[in-house]
A and B are shown apart, each in its own frame.
Chain A
């Protein structure tokens, strides 16, 4: 038996969704002609994800925000930029995927790992951080902590001030020191 085909009523699409995505960084969105060159190059297609670059763009253009929020594909994008390289219309499909992530985050539709990465970035300045790495570093002849924000309080403070100046501060995804958003200079 043939599988039932789901028919979308595109008049129910969210008005203004394309504008939102364009404002979030996908300025050339409307230039897409759905030629599928980006899809032919995309590792998400090879791995079997349903909403790869071309389909993400198509869904945005017809205002199907909910579909994209319910699906995890946008988070599987490898940021590899094959799509950006081959797109004949300079749409920068990777930029569209990232803009879609930014929209999803504003609806709190983000994976736990992304929350953890952001928290770790704010806390130590590294998205990937293992607190027990010091022992291993020492064993192979390196100082316990690398010369980064992980061992430099002033540098970490600078980073946090910048994160407080970014859109992250108003989203409430991770606990942040709100006092830092008013700081305009660092005491050394």
Chain B
């Protein structure tokens, strides 16, 4: 099987260890990668979507066309890319007049959006396409005894109409929990499981307000399930939880730290990847968790 890797900006420039982890995971699971050469930003919410609807969709459609020409689906580890591109596809496929307008713009670069390919989120792809059993069978290490607080991320849940392979009930997500359990860990429900991480527009507008959401979420994870580790399905959530905890600790908003990784990074570790390469840029301390990886004989 072959997929197109939609890398996005944050993964490529902020957390390339996550890019490395995804390449490692796909390789270990025998999925061939096409790099979708020439892809750009999705584009993200604060830029073209905030300026011009058709302009937003035209830039997204150009990314889709790269996949269409190669006849592969796009897979991304970033919730923002997944959200922006899913909405683009949803609207273009639903509204012929919008598609026509965007295709008129695309004529200037000699291209046409057809809608034959789709965008998929890495965790959904792993859950639906690879499957829990294949993941379990490929593991070299497991995480027995580790309790995980999952953070699926807003953009894997809503608007459910635009996500063709999302949760059955987006207000009670189970996919990321089951994916973590496939690694031998436990990943219980906690009351703030669907809360937002506060990254994105909120963090750039008012960092204190954004940290308020981080604290609510972390406290819930710590008090209710005593999480040893926080696992996200989105690169933006990863960056938020990985970088917000140190300043919050300094300001005495929290007196603990929950190490944080993206699911794809955790899976890469359980498939035997070199920690330096796949979680090497973490700022939360992962040594405790790395010590809990148990070799499977």
Contact = CB atoms under 8 A, between A and B. Distances in A.
Given A82-B158, A165-B108, A118 B40 contact: no
B216 interface: yes
Interface residues of B, number: 69
Interface stretch (B139-147, B204-212, B224-232, B241-249): B204-212
Interface in A152-168: 152, 154-156, 158-159, 161-163, 165-168
A129 B10 CA distance: 8
B55 interface: yes
B91 to A, nearest CB: 10
B198 A43 contact: yes
Interface string A102-113: 100100001101
Contact of B202 (A76, A118, A137, A163): A76
B13 A126 contact: yes
A24 B51 CA distance: 9
B170 interface: yes
Contacts of B155: 79-81
A167 B213 contact: no
Contacts of A158: 38, 62, 109, 111
Contacts of B154: 43, 78-82
Contacts of B198: 43, 47, 78
B17 to A, nearest CB: 6
Range class of the A interface residue count: 35 or more
Given A130-B14, A166-B58, A81 B83 contact: yes
A43 B20 CA distance: 32
Interface in A124-174: 125-130, 133, 136-137, 139-142, 146-150, 152, 154-156, 158-159, 161-163, 165-168, 171, 173
Interface of A: 24-25, 43-44, 46-49, 72-73, 75-82, 84-85, 98, 101-102, 105, 110-111, 113-114, 117-118, 121, 125-130, 133, 136-137, 139-142, 146-150, 152, 154-156, 158-159, 161-163, 165-168, 171, 173, 183-186
30 contacts: A44-B202, A73-B205, A76-B201, A76-B206, A77-B45, A78-B154, A78-B196, A78-B198, A78-B202, A80-B158, A85-B160, A110-B50, A118-B47, A133-B12, A133-B13, A137-B16, A140-B17, A140-B20, A140-B281, A141-B20, A141-B277, A142-B16, A146-B7, A158-B62, A158-B111, A161-B108, A165-B108, A166-B48, A168-B52, A168-B55
